Amino acid sequence: MNDDLQVAIVTGAARGIGLAIAQRLTADGFRVVLTDVDGEEVAKQAEALPGAIGLQHDVRDAAAGRAVVEHVLAQFGRIDVLVNNAGTNIHAHPTVEVTEEDFNLVIDVNLKGTFLTTQAVLPTLQKGGGRIVNMSSILGLKPVANVATYCASKYAVTGLTQSWAAELAQYDITANSVHPGIVATALHDRVVEGVSALTKMSTDDAWAEFQRSIPLQRFQTVEDVAAVVAFLVSPAAKDITGSEFKIDGGMGVA
Ligand SMILES: NC(=O)c1ccc[n+]([C@@H]2O[C@H](COP(=O)([O-])OP(=O)(O)OC[C@H]3O[C@@H](n4cnc5c(N)ncnc54)[C@H](O)[C@@H]3O)[C@@H](O)[C@H]2O)c1
């Protein structure tokens, strides 16, 4: 199939922020390719979105990224947008307690996964221009204690984005990063569990403590993040590249 709809690939789209981005871009008229390491769930979610498809894809696997691109080009003939959203974290730990296995997991998914997926898509985007949006975090701009590995991975995503903005402008490709604060998803549940274990606070108290740390005193939603991504891939953002978009209720300036 080769039609006029722009095609957007969203990684880590089986749930949480990635799914909300896929839903929003579908509503905005994109044909969305949802990918996720959880192939069963992503296929189920894609079925509910008009024109969308869901593909199993572990972003740590370069060959899997290339297979996604081949599949999308064979089916739709184009790729216009890549949203590198897939990400993971580990429980909050002092650095001396972080295992090498956990370190590798976070760096492999968040940093290497973003790199490899972009590398797979670039030969297509370089032919006709496009948009790359990378999911960093407020922790990719502002550090906090006991999540050094996650912070490092998200600072690295910020760095990749800046570098790609400089490298890819000649192809009319923009690259921007998005920096959510605290969004109530499965990922943040794990953060709360970790903080609760570390501080002996109940998880309810840990949630309340997180809320107090946000200047606007409220958590961000998956839709808040999706709205910024939707703007960044819209015609209105054609000249925005190398920029960092915080959706953090003011955490970055607290
Ligand atoms: N929730 C927050 O508060 C928050 C804040 C800042 C940034 N983020 C970032 O937003 C992104 C989405 O997070 P979320 O909160 O929706 O998390 P989530 O855990 O709800 O969803 C993450 C998705 O990524 C998928 N995934 C994990 N490893 C993968 C891999 N190797 N290959 C492909 N897919 C993989 C998971 O299966 C899952 O569907 C992440 O990059 C995360 O770091 C989240």
Strands in the chain per DSSP E: 7-11, 31-36, 53-56, 81-84, 130-135, 173-180, 244-247
* Number of domains composing the chain: 1
**Is-contact 159 166, C-beta < 8 A?**
no
Q: In this model, does residue 208 exceed pLDDT 70?
A: yes
Please give the single-letter amino acid code of residue 46.
A
Which residue's alpha carbon is nearest to atom 7 within ligand 1? Answer: 137
The confidence score (pLDDT) of residue 19 equals 98
pTM value is 0.97
Mean pLDDT across the chain: 96
Q: What pLDDT does residue 164 have?
A: 98
**Residue 136 lies inside a defined structural domain of this protein:** yes
> Is the residue at 137 inside a domain?
yes
The residues assigned a catalytic role are 150
Question: How far does residue 86's CA lie from ligand 1's centre (Å)?
Answer: 5
pLDDT of residue 191: 85
The finding on whether 224 has its CB within 6 A of some atom of ligand 1 is no
In this prediction, residue 3 has a pLDDT band, given cuts at 50, 70 and 90, of low
Which of 17, 24, 41, 138 for a ligand 1 pocket mutation test, highest count of atoms within 8 Å of Cβ? 17
Question: Is 207 within a domain?
Answer: no
- Condensed to tens digits (0 to 9), the pLDDT of residues 9-66 reads 999 999 999 999 999 999 999 999 999 999 999 999 999 999 999 999 999 999 999 9
38 is a domain residue: yes
Residue in this structure with the two tokens 């939707």, named with its chain if needed: 230
* CB 86 near ligand 1, within 6 Å: yes
Cβ of 249 below 6 Å from ligand 1: no
Q: For the segment 144-156, what is each residue's pLDDT rounded down to a tens digit? A: 999 999 999 999 9
Domain of residue 16: give its range: 7-181+221-253
Question: Ligand 1 in contact with 36 (CB < 6 A)?
Answer: yes
Residue 2 binned pLDDT confidence (cut-offs 50, 70, 90): very low
- pLDDT tier at 1 (50, 70, 90 boundaries)? low
Asked if the structure places residue 206 within a domain, the reply is no
Q: For 85-137, what is each residue's pLDDT tens digit?
A: 999 998 888 999 999 999 999 999 999 999 999 999 999 999 999 999 999 99
Neighbour tally for 217: CB within 10 Å: 10
Would you say 135 and 157 are in contact if contact means Cβ atoms under 8 Å apart? yes
Residue 188 counted as domain residue = no
Q: What number does the ligand 1 atom closest to the CA of 41 have?
A: 39
What pLDDT is stored for residue 93 in this prediction? Answer: 87
For residue 213, is it within any domain?
A: no
Residue 19 Cβ inside 6 Å of ligand 1? The answer reads no
Could you tell me the distance, in angstroms and rounded to a whole number, from the CA of residue 87 to the centre of ligand 1?
A: 4
Report the CATH number at residue 235: 3.40.50.720
Query: Environment class of residue 243 by beta-carbon count within 10 Å: exposed (0-12), middle (13-18) or buried (19+)?
Result: middle
Q: For residue 142, count other CB atoms closer than 10 A to its CB.
A: 17
Is residue 110 within 8 A of residue 157, CB to CB? The reply is: yes
